[in-house]
Amino acid sequence: MEFSENIDPIIQGYAQGYFLMADENDVLGWYSSRQRALIPLDERFRYPKSLKRFLNQNIFSVAVNRDFLGVCQGCADRDSTWIAPELIEIYYQLHLAGYAHSFETWQGDKLAGGILGITIGAAFIGESMFFRIPNGSKVAMVKLVEHLKSRGFILFDAQLQNDHLARFGSYLISDLEYQKLLQEALSYPCIFV
Residue 141 lies in a domain: yes
3 Cβ neighbours under 8 A, 6+ residues apart: 10, 89, 90, 93
The percent of residues above 70 in pLDDT, for the chain, comes to 97
Residue-level length of the chain: 193
User: pLDDT tens, 11-61?
Assistant: 999 999 999 999 988 899 999 999 999 999 999 999 988 898 889 899 999
Whether residue 166 has pLDDT greater than 80 = yes
DSSP string computed for 51-65: HHHHHHTT--EEEES
Q: Is residue 159 part of a domain?
A: yes
Whether residue 191 lies inside any domain: the answer is no
Q: For 102-137, how does the pLDDT look when each residue is reduced to its tens digit (9 = 90+)?
A: 999 999 999 999 999 999 999 999 999 999 999 999
Q: Is residue 193 part of a domain?
A: no
Model confidence band, residue 158 (pLDDT cutoffs 50, 70, 90): very high
Q: What is the pLDDT of residue 49?
A: 86
Domain holding 84: CATH number?
3.40.630.70
Q: At what angle do helices 49-56 and 136-151 cross, to 10 degrees?
A: 80
Residue 153 lies in a domain: yes
Band the pLDDT of 1: cuts 50, 70, 90. very low
**Using 50, 70 and 90 to split pLDDT, how confident is the model at 5?**
low
Helix %, strand %, coil % of the chain (to 5)? 35, 25, 35
The pLDDT, as a whole number, for residue 7 is 86
Structural contact between residues 71 and 104, judged by C-beta atoms closer than 8 angstroms: yes
Q: What is the pLDDT of residue 2?
A: 43
Which pLDDT score, from 0 to 100, does residue 142 have? Answer: 97
- How many structural domains are present in the chain? 1
Is residue 29 one of the residues assigned to a domain? yes
The whole-model pTM stands at 0.94
Tell me whether residue 26 is in a domain: yes
How far apart CA 30 and CA 13 sit, in angstroms, is 8
pLDDT of residue 53: 85
Instruction: Give CA 24 to chain center in angstroms.
Output: 22
User: What range defines the domain where residue 152 resides?
Assistant: 8-186
**Other CB atoms within 10 Å distance of the CB of residue 159:** 18
- The rounded distance, in Å, linking the Cα atoms of 26 and 74 is 17
Residue 1 lies in a domain: no
Rounded CA gap, 37 and 63, in Å? Answer: 25
Residue 171 is given by DSSP the state E
